[in-house]
Amino acid sequence: MSSSVEAECCIICLDSDPPPIQSGCACRSDTGLAHLDCLIEKAVAQQAHRGYKVWWECQTCGQEFTGAMRTGLGEAWWSRVRDEAAESAERLCAALNLALCRCSDGRFADAERIQREALGVQRRLQGEEHPDTLTTAGNLAQSLSKQGKHGDAQRIQREVLGVERRVLGEEHPCTLATAGNLALSLKGQGKHGDAERIQREVLGASRRVLGEEHPCTLTNAGNLASTLKGQGQYAEAERIQREVLGTSRRVLGEEHPKTLMSAGNLAATLAYQDKFAEAERMLQATLEAHRRVLGDTHPNTLAIAEDLEHVRSEMRTEQPTRTAGKAAARRNERAAALALSPTSLVEAEARARAAEGELLAMLDLEAPEAAGGGSSGKGKGKAKGKAKGKTNGEGGKWALIRGADS
Ligand SMILES: [Zn+2]
Ligand SMILES: [Zn+2]
């Protein structure tokens, strides 16, 4: 008992009242516990010689803060500089950093508002083609994509990608990140084939340029897996996701938000393949970790809880009923409601699908599919460090994950 009480102390002031929170960086267990106010005080003291990064990066382990600590520091920084002139470099960085915090918390409309304002300032001060301006434009596109505004996002991403290819080159990490994000917007519009093609290219290039274990490479692999899953290629998706999860655990740590998201995504793929026992175990463990690291009301935590419910309800259903029986039962219900025989309903549905296909072909559209955005972080921009927040997500029945990392 006494040891667990000792473990609740803030690493900075060594006080346990009020209870400290996890920093969410790589500092494990009690070494990651601190008061937000103590870390704010430390950031203020260190900013002059260590730079702005003290507001988002742990000065002990070098990894970013996550969760409540990340957001708390971001808000504290913003409140210190918000009254400065719009042209102030620090105010601009604090605003963009706050936008990334909002993304991490799933508040994409708030992020969009901040990023639009900052982008206006950057275009005026630095010009359209400055790397920081491009980064903000790319991040804005991400926030749009996360709200389902894939068309708007895609338009910005194509512009940014054109400039980056010309100015930075095809295989620059920023160019790769933008291409990866464009693929997610395409996927969001149901263009899975186009998305997959770009994602395979981006993944190959990031393995070469950044290395197998770089967080961006992991994100790109995770995004490809998500697209494959969306196309029903579960076996390849599962293989990639297992690799990504293993590497994330080793490189980022067991409870890093990206590792947790990878676990949730793999569990979803398992559930799609009716591997419910393993899916349930993973979701149970990852739900507990989500609650600890991100809190009970974070969108990712809620998505995992929902998936766990789905899996458990599937497990309660008898196997034969679940597979063949379920579709038949639904069809019979609909047939009864329409006063048709099940057979004539099947025929009617086939005719309706064919007619819909013709209509879409006439309009030159692709059949819409449920999809979410996804991706991960890209660090770029010197002052902001990680100005490019990407996100890793999924659509469909399982793992409605909308996490964002930076
Ligand atoms: Zn403290
Ligand atoms: Zn740390």
Q: DSSP characters for 203-233?
A: HHHHHHHT-TT-HHHHHHHHHHHHHHHHTT-
Query: What homologous superfamily does CATH list for 82-318+375-405?
Result: Tetratricopeptide repeat domain (1.25.40.10)
Distance 227 CA to ligand 2 centre (A): 33
Confidence at residue 361, expressed as pLDDT on a 0 to 100 scale = 61
The CA distance from 37 to 406, in Å, is 23
Ligand nearest to the CA of 23: 2
CB count, 10 Å around CB of 344?
11
Confidence at residue 395, expressed as pLDDT on a 0 to 100 scale = 32
The CA distance from 114 to 111, in Å, is 5
Confidence at residue 394, expressed as pLDDT on a 0 to 100 scale = 33
Confidence at residue 331, expressed as pLDDT on a 0 to 100 scale = 56
Ligand nearest to the CA of 34: 1
Confidence at residue 363, expressed as pLDDT on a 0 to 100 scale = 56
Helix spans in 294-325 (H): 299-316, 319-320
Q: Which residues face 404 on adjacent strands?
A: 391
Distance from the Cα of residue 154 to its chain's centroid: 17
Distance 11 CA to ligand 1 centre (A): 7
User: What DSSP designation does 200 have?
Assistant: H
User: Nearest 5 degrees, angle CA 353-CA 356-CA 362?
Assistant: 145
Local structure of 274: helix, strand or coil: coil
Residues with CB under 5 A from ligand 1 (ion): 10, 12-13, 35, 38
The CA distance from 239 to 246, in Å, is 11
What is the sign, positive or negative, of the torsion defined by CA atoms of 223, 225, 226, 230?
positive
Query: What residue spans define the domains of the chain?
Result: 82-318+375-405
Task: Profile the chain (406 residues) by mean pLDDT over runs of 10 residues.
Answer: 60 93 84 95 96 95 91 98 96 97 95 98 95 94 95 96 94 93 94 96 96 93 95 96 96 89 95 95 94 83 93 81 55 53 56 61 48 35 33 35 31
User: What DSSP designation does 46 have?
Assistant: H
Distance 5 CA to ligand 2 centre (A): 21
Distance 20 CA to ligand 1 centre (A): 7
Q: Which residues face 390 on adjacent strands?
A: 405
Whole-model pTM above 0.85? no
Confidence at residue 27, expressed as pLDDT on a 0 to 100 scale = 83
Ligand nearest to the CA of 16: 1
